[in-house]
Chains A and B, each alone.
Chain A
Amino acid sequence: MATELKANGKPFVHYHAAHCESGVTSALLRDKGMDISEPMVFGIGSGIFFGYLPFMKMTGLPISTFRAAPGSIFHKTAKRLGAEFVTKKFRNPQKGMDELKQVLKTGQIVGMTTNMYWLPYLSERFRWNFLGHNIIALRETDGVFRISDSMLEHPIDCPVADLERARFAPGPANPHGYMYYLKSVNPRPDLRNASIKGMKSTCFMMLNIPMPIFGVRGMRFLAKKVIKSPDKLGFDEACRQLVGLIRWVEEVGTGGGGFRYMYAAFLQEAAQLFGSGELADLSKEMNAIGDSWRAFSVTAARIVKQRNKEKETFAKAGGLMLICAGREENFFKDLGKVVGKLKT
């Protein structure tokens, strides 16, 4: 937690958050006077997801994402809480930077989507071409932007040239300088209705999307691929793919396992909000699912490190993933039933 001044001289409180986008969204909402926690935003915005995209590659490795598409958490949360917001994309980088400066001058704080590689303040372990990192710009003085990156403990400085490059990083999934800010928020938001909407759409995304690469079916698809990978690709290449997968499970955002814990935190808050014992039980189950994702990543890391070769095999890792998929399927079916009974 650190306090920082905005362009109009009013204070902004920076919180350390686990995930960039839900952290940014909750910071934007808090700045407008709505007291909302990060897990709540994550739940209302239906942040939890699974998708395996073998045709979209980042540095040669397929994407397996554990959260919804970048930008959607903010969009959905703001809509469901009845806030007015503005989103913009630009073709011309110069226009994008001018617009940002102008909006900042009015005392707004602005969320932006950037490429992590070009942010100069991050250290080597963060620096790779990931094009969905969200940050907030607070103010601009003499060609230096003050940035509140919710992944870090304190606000930080970033030069204009680097920020421009990060916002307009060419390549697949170019963010095109995507920026968003809130115009006003509903003074009395309907949290209960919003949570129900969020949970319902999460259940749909995890269970009912009619494509085999999304949701629970996507997990099974990927698990089968992991089991077959050493025979198909050879041990070295399979390990390379597995390292890429563990990166998605453990590191990106807050990692697949981490997202499960955050969702459990959301369910706990929702249980208090509705006074529902069933949601509290589901929160515990979600926590256990997070633990089983972590068990999967530990097994996978042991395979790559070649420790205890007889026991730690690709079949075991794939099996653990299938277990996760089965548990999540049951979980979201139960959640769907519980949500149906809740009253706004």
Chain B
Amino acid sequence: MDFEDEIFSDGLPKVYYKHDDQGRYVLETDAPWAEKVTCALIIAGNRANLEEIRKAVLAGQKSPLCYYMELRQMDPVMLAKAAGIATFRVKRHLRPEIFAKLKPSVLDRYSKALRIPLEELKTVPNR
């Protein structure tokens, strides 16, 4: 099965208005080809990006915060608003050496904003 069909066979079909032969509008559940392609591209892109960041974290170039931010599809500005921390501080915390020195109170804010348990936030899954 193609990746495109795989992500679209999740049992949650959307409906689309289509013109039938008699000139009436009916609801159909076939997704257009372009939608399938873009969805597949975006999801594949997100997954590849996430995998790259995970490897960078394991190599010590980025902090685990960066991984979880990407997992939740956020950017530093959004995360800053969610956690109530200034954007420039969030951007600093994406560096591993600074992230390692963070106080528990700050980590707690991140774990609430990202919905990640506190212990998990310090590491990334090692697959």
Output the nearest chain A residue to B81 by Cβ-Cβ distance: A170
Q: Which of B12, B39, B75, B115 has the most CB of A within 10 A?
A: B12
Per-position binary interface string of chain A over residues 26-63, scored 1 when its CB falls under 8 Å from any chain B CB and 0 otherwise: 00000000000001000000000000000000011000
Residues of chain A within 8 A (CB-CB) of B24 are 268
Complex: how many Å from CA A59 to CA B23?
Answer: 40
CB–CB B17/A265 < 8 A: yes
CB–CB B39/A170 < 8 A: no
Whether A294 contacts B17 in the complex (CB less than 8 A), given A129-B78, A171-B74, A301-B37, comes out as no
Classify the secondary structure of B's interface with A: mixed
CB–CB A261/B38 < 8 A: no
Residues of chain B within 8 A (CB-CB) of A243 are 38, 41-42, 45
CB–CB A301/B75 < 8 A: no
Residues of chain B within 8 A (CB-CB) of A249 are 34
CB–CB A122/B12 < 8 A: yes
Residues of chain A within 8 A (CB-CB) of B17 are 18, 39, 254, 258, 261-262, 264-265
Residues of chain A within 8 A (CB-CB) of B13 are 153
B38 to chain A minimum Cβ distance, whole angstroms, is 4
A125 at the interface (CB under 8 A from B): yes
User: Which of B25-33, B56-64, B94-102, B118-126 forms contacts with chain A?
Assistant: B25-33
Complex: how many Å from CA A172 to CA B81?
Answer: 8
A233 at the interface (CB under 8 A from B): no
B104 to chain A minimum Cβ distance, whole angstroms, is 21
Per-position binary interface string of chain A over residues 189-225, scored 1 when its CB falls under 8 Å from any chain B CB and 0 otherwise: 0000000000000000000000000000000000000
Interface size class of A (residues with CB under 8 A): 35 or more
Q: Which one, B15, B34, B72, contacts A294 given CB within 8 A?
A: B34
Complex: how many Å from CA A268 to CA B74?
Answer: 42
B36 to chain A minimum Cβ distance, whole angstroms, is 9
Residues of chain B within 8 A (CB-CB) of A327 are none
Q: Which of A18, A126, A240 has the most CB of B within 10 A?
A: A18
Classify the secondary structure of A's interface with B: helix
Whether A16 contacts B42 in the complex (CB less than 8 A), given A123-B10, A170-B81, comes out as no
CB–CB A268/B39 < 8 A: no
Residues of chain B within 8 A (CB-CB) of A240 are 45
B86 at the interface (CB under 8 A from A): no
Complex: how many Å from CA A258 to CA B81?
Answer: 34
CB–CB A250/B35 < 8 A: yes
Q: Which one, A122, A172, A257, A298, contacts B78 given CB within 8 A?
A: A172
CB–CB B18/A261 < 8 A: yes
CB–CB B15/A16 < 8 A: yes
CB–CB A18/B16 < 8 A: yes
Whether A17 contacts B15 in the complex (CB less than 8 A), given A59-B73, A59-B75, comes out as yes
A287 at the interface (CB under 8 A from B): yes
CB–CB A265/B35 < 8 A: no
Residues of chain B within 8 A (CB-CB) of A294 are 32, 34
Per-position binary interface string of chain A over residues 230-247, scored 1 when its CB falls under 8 Å from any chain B CB and 0 otherwise: 000000000010010011
Per-position binary interface string of chain B over residues 44-66, scored 1 when its CB falls under 8 Å from any chain A CB and 0 otherwise: 01000000000000000000000
A299 to chain B minimum Cβ distance, whole angstroms, is 9
Q: Which one, A39, A125, A169, A262, contacts B39 given CB within 8 A?
A: A125
Residues of chain A within 8 A (CB-CB) of B34 are 246, 249-250, 294, 297-298, 300-301
Per-position binary interface string of chain A over residues 259-293, scored 1 when its CB falls under 8 Å from any chain B CB and 0 otherwise: 00110110010000000000000000001000000
Output the nearest chain A residue to B26 by Cβ-Cβ distance: A265
A69 at the interface (CB under 8 A from B): no
B102 to chain A minimum Cβ distance, whole angstroms, is 20
The 8 closest A-B pairs by CB, nearest first: A123-B10, A265-B25, A250-B35, A297-B34, A170-B82, A171-B78, A261-B17, A301-B34
Given A171-B81, A246-B35, A254-B16, 5 additional A-B pairs, CB 8 A: A124-B43, A151-B12, A254-B14, A254-B17, A261-B18
